[in-house]
Structure formats: C-alpha cells, structure tokens
C-alpha cells in the first residue's frame, strides 16, 4: 500500500507538556497518528565516561545525578553493587532504613508523574492537589535524609543518619495524612467522567506488545505483566512484597498502577517502622576489586548497574541501563500509533513517565 | 517617567510569563522549578505564570550544563522571546557545570557564554523559594522603565 502522510507534526524539544527536552515526530493522516519517532540527544552529558577511573566516593555522587527524580534508587543500586563486589554486610536496621528512603522517593516520583499526566490532560485541579501532596512527602524526605533531592543517604555498609523517635512520629503522622488525601484524590481520578474520556482506552499497549518492546516498571505492570525487581530484594522479601498489576493496558491503568504503588509504599514504610530492628546503622568494610551486575527497581522500572572495580575501590568500568528507554520505545512504536488525535500523543507519552535525563545520562 | 510608562511597569511587574529549558541537567533542578507551581509556594500569587512557551515568555529559566544538542537551538530560542526579556540560570550546572565539568564530559558551561544571563541561583539543586526569589528580583531590575532605558 502506498504510504501517504498528511502532515508531519514535530512536538518539542521545548513543549508545554514535556518537563524535559525530547522531540516526538508524528506522521498523521487526518487526526490519526500512523507513525511516530522519538528524537533524543538533548541531554547527553557522558556521565559514564566521567565515572571511569574515579573512586567510589566520587562515583556515588555522580550516580545520584544520573536522575534527579529517582536519585535514591540510583544511589542504592550503585552502593549495593559495590557491596556485592566487596562482600560488605549491611546491618539490619540500615537495610530497613534504606527501604524507607527508597519508598519515600518512589512516592514522590509517582506523585510527580501523575501530576504531569493530570496537567497534560488539563485537569489542573487534581494535578495541583497531587503536587501539594508531593510537598508533604518531600518534607519527610528532608527530615529523614537532610536534603530534598540528591540526598546521598545510602553509603557502603549502611546509611548516613538514624531515624529518631521524633522523626518517626512525624513520618507516621505524615503517612496517615497522605493516605487520607490520596484516597480522596484516587477516587476523584477513578470516577471523573472527563478524565475517563481522555484516559480509558487510549494508548493501548497489549501484553504481547509490552513483552515484545521489553516494557518495564509501571508501564509493563499496567499491561498485566507481573515484573518487579523488588521481589528479588532480600529486605523486600522479608516485608512480604507483592507487585501491583492491572490488565486494562491503557493510560488509565498506568496512572492507577502508580496510585496503587504509592499506597503500597505507605504500607511498606509502616511495616518497616513496625519491625525496625535495634542496632548500629553503619557497619565496617573495605571496597575491593571485582565485577558484578546488579539490578533494582526504580520508580520507572528495572535499573541495572554493571561495574568493575580495582583493589582500591576505584571504578574501572561502569555501564548503566536505565528503565525509561524501553518505555519510550514502547510508547512511540505501539502506544502512540492509532490514537485518535494529536492531543492524545502528549498525554500518552507522559503516561509512560519518560525520564530523558536518565535515558541519555 | 510618563503615565503610560508607570502603567506599563505596574502591569509588567504583576504578569511575568516563564518558560524553562533544560540544557542537560540531572532533572533535580527541573523538579524544583516544577515544585514552585505547588500550592505551598504558589508562584501564581506573584503573577508569575509558567507556560513553557518561548514566544509569550518574559523570563527564560535555564537549567543544565549546555550539551552539544543545543548548539543550534538555544540562540534561536532566545531570539524568539520578545523584549523585554531576562534569563535566569538555576542550579550549579549552568554556572559552572557542577560535578559534570570533568574531562571527557560532553558539556560546555557556563551558559552565559551563549546567552546573556541576568541572575544566577547556585545550589544542587536550589530550593523552590530561592528560585522564586530570583524571578522576583529580576522583575524589578529588568522590566522597570524598560522603554525609558532603551531611548
């Protein structure tokens, strides 16, 4: 069949709906999208090149700055890879505190992603509610780790700060308030008729297509694939972790999976605080030579670090595989194709929660 | 100063449209700029609107350390913004390159080499209140009596 295109519409790199620069080129026929292509390359800084040959004390901070939104998980995966290389054991109290920090980070990341989606579909009221809720989470993170973003909380052999009785009470109180508010906002999202018009049945990514595109994280879980690296993490196993899975495969399902995961994070943090063991938060150890591949579950999906270190704990070789690139590919090859209007392209793209900073590094 | 100028100054000081552009940062400053929109900081109470459309912007917030992908794009973007205009560099990256400014990185800081920067907010990342204070300080320095100073 002859390939006819009415208009070629470029979106971006500076676009009202995108937080970060990316360019989506859509080939349209009428209002229907028949093909799309994502052009990246606006954020490439070459972090992996800078990391090579540097001691872990420096690489730790660079790893955190791969992505500012999900900085705690980058920190955690890099440090746990270093620990696996060197055989450093983590005190149980520190392992639980790591989960608390990581889940708080996941909560703020998911709330930001859902805010972006609500903002894109022009439901600004709900978006602002969610952004205000995110500020409450940021307060807790600041109280626990000392910084809002890029807090460098996790270090080899433990964590930097202990949680005091006052901080724990504040954390519990904040969680109760966040859970109350979020229940209301989730109800608004579920029952809103205008939201349903813009979300349900749009941007379909079937289970087969998701498997073919290697979609990860909430995008895969919204397509009915039960995949989550946290099921293999020892601390999460002790807490009895089960992934949140939905089977609707559309934009609505992806947002609802994120809401579900925020509730799950609240439950996990409560379980951590209830079972928090006594003891030290920093053990000893020496970073040594070795090579390993270690994966963790970032808010956007599976994050892998492949590192090789020398006898002094310097990183000789490092490769980072971030989750967003798979979701962006799934988005532009499957989800966007066939949506009924150009307005749905941005909302579908945002629903996959693309993070360009960690895609290009 | 004429009455017309006084009215213009008053209107401009309460209606600032902001566009932000990420030239290759870690995203941390990006989300702190977004956090300014939150009801807690409430950027709109000062008449500041974030539209992210350069053609109707007064203030361009620049985040990130200037990657090669922006070489042919940043200056045209800056020229699209109508006068009077000002650029604010948010975070350490546009000022010095922060921790990315090492041998082997694909960045070219500072951004003031490429476009004129009116204010700089250091921090990795700065707090939303600091970003808000920078926008408000630029308002008085750049937009007051702009036509008078042009003559």
Which residues make beta-bridge pairs with A186? Answer: none
Q: Which domains does chain A have, with CATH numbers?
A: 46-360 (1.10.645.10)
CA nearest to B70 within chain A: A42
Asked if B126 and B36 count as a contact pair (C-beta separation under 8 A), the reply is no
Indicate if the alpha-carbon torsion angle B42, B43, B45, B50 is positive or negative. Answer: negative
Token couple for B123: 């921090």
- Res A306 pLDDT > 60: yes
Euclidean distance between CA atoms A192 and B11, whole angstroms: 37
Asked if A359 and A228 count as a contact pair (C-beta separation under 8 A), the reply is no
CA nearest to B66 within chain A: A43
pLDDT at B37: 86
pLDDT at A329: 84
- Res A183 pLDDT > 90: yes
Euclidean distance between CA atoms A80 and A296, whole angstroms: 9
Mutant choice from A10, A14, A145 vs B, greatest count of B C-beta within 10 A: A14
Q: Which residues of A fall within a CB distance of 8 Å from B103?
A: 50
Q: Which residues of A fall within a CB distance of 8 Å from B35?
A: 131, 134-135, 138
pLDDT digits (tens, 9 = 90+) for B48-99: 888 888 888 888 999 888 888 888 888 888 998 888 888 999 988 899 888 8
Going from N- to C-terminal start, the domains of chain B cover 3-144
**DSSP category for residue A30:** T
- B3-144 has which CATH code? 3.40.50.12280
Mutant choice from A15, A43, A107, A131 vs B, greatest count of B C-beta within 10 A: A43
Whether residue B31 and residue A13 make contact (CB cut-off 8 A), yes or no, is no
B19 three-state secondary structure: strand
Of A42, A44, A131, the CB nearest to B38: A131
CA nearest to A18 within chain B: B52
User: Smallest CA–CA separation between A277 and chain B, in Å?
Assistant: 32
A135 three-state secondary structure: helix
pLDDT digits (tens, 9 = 90+) for A144-153: 888 888 888 8
Euclidean distance between CA atoms A300 and B23, whole angstroms: 22
Q: Which residues of A fall within a CB distance of 8 Å from B52?
A: 14-16
Whether residue B28 and residue A71 make contact (CB cut-off 8 A), yes or no, is yes
A46 interface with B at CB cutoff 8 Å = yes
pLDDT at A4: 65
pTM: 0.91
Q: Which candidate, A172, A164, A130, A165, places its Cα nearest to that of A146?
A: A164
Q: Which residues of B fall within a CB distance of 8 Å from A355?
A: 27
Whether residue A149 and residue B70 make contact (CB cut-off 8 A), yes or no, is no
Characterise B97 by phi-psi region: left (phi > 0), alpha (psi -120 to 50), beta (else). Answer: left
Region A187-192: mean pLDDT is: 88
pLDDT digits (tens, 9 = 90+) for A63-91: 888 888 888 899 999 999 988 888 888 88
Of A42, A64, A115, the CB nearest to B24: A42
């Amino acid at each position: 069949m002859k390939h006819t295109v009415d208009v070629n519409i470029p979106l971006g790199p500076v676009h009202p709906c995108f937080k970060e620069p990316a360019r989506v080129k859509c080939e349209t026929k009428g209002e229907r999208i028949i093909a799309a292509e994502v052009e990246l390359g606006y954020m490439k800084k070459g972090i992996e090149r800078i990391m090579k040959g540097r001691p872990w004390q420096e690489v730790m901070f660079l790893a955190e700055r791969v992505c500012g939104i999900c900085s705690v998980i980058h920190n955690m995966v890099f440090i746990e890879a270093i620990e696996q290389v060197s055989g450093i054991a983590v005190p149980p109290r520190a392992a639980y505190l790591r989960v608390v920090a990581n889940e708080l980070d996941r909560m703020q990341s998911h709330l930001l992603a859902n805010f972006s989606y609500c903002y894109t579909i022009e439901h600004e009221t709900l978006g602002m509610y969610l952004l205000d809720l995110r500020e409450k989470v940021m307060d807790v993170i600041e109280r626990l780790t000392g910084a809002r973003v890029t807090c460098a909380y996790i270090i080899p052999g433990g964590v930097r700060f202990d949680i005091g009785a006052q901080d724990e009470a504040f954390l519990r109180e904040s969680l109760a308030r966040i859970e109350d508010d979020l229940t209301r906002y989730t109800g608004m999202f579920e029952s809103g008729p205008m939201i349903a018009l813009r979300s349900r049945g749009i941007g379909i990514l079937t289970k087969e297509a998701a498997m073919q595109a290697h979609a990860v994280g909430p995008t895969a879980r919204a397509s009915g694939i039960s995949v989550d690296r946290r099921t293999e993490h020892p601390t999460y196993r002790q807490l009895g972790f089960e992934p949140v899975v939905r089977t609707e495969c559309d934009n609505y399902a992806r947002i609802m999976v994120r809401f579900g995961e925020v509730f799950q994070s609240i439950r996990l943090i409560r379980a951590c605080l209830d079972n928090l063991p006594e003891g030290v938060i920093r053990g000893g150890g020496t970073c040594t030579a070795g090579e390993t591949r270690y994966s963790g579950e970032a808010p956007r999906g599976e994050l892998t670090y492949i590192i090789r270190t020398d006898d002094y704990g310097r990183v000789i070789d490092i490769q980072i595989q971030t989750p967003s690139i798979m979701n962006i590919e799934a988005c532009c090859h499957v989800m966007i194709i066939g949506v009924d209007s150009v307005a749905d392209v941005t909302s579908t793209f945002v629903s996959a929660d693309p993070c360009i900073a960690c895609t290009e590094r | 100063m004429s009455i017309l100028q006084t009215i213009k100054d008053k209107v401009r000081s309460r209606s600032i449209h902001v566009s932000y552009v990420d030239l290759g940062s870690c995203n941390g400053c990006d989300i702190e700029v977004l956090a300014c929109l939150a009801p807690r900081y409430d950027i709109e109470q000062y008449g500041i609107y974030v539209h992210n459309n350069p053609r109707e912007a007064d203030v361009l917030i620049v985040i990130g350390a200037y990657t090669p992908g922006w070489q042919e794009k940043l200056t045209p973007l800056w020229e699209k913004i109508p006068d009077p205009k000002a650029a604010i560099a948010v975070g350490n990256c546009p000022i010095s390159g922060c921790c990315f400014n090492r041998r082997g990185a694909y960045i070219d800081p500072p951004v003031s080499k490429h476009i004129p920067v009116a204010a700089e907010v250091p921090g990795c990342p700065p707090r939303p209140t600091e970003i808000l204070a920078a926008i408000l300080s630029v308002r008085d320095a750049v937009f007051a009596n702009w036509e008078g100073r042009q003559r």
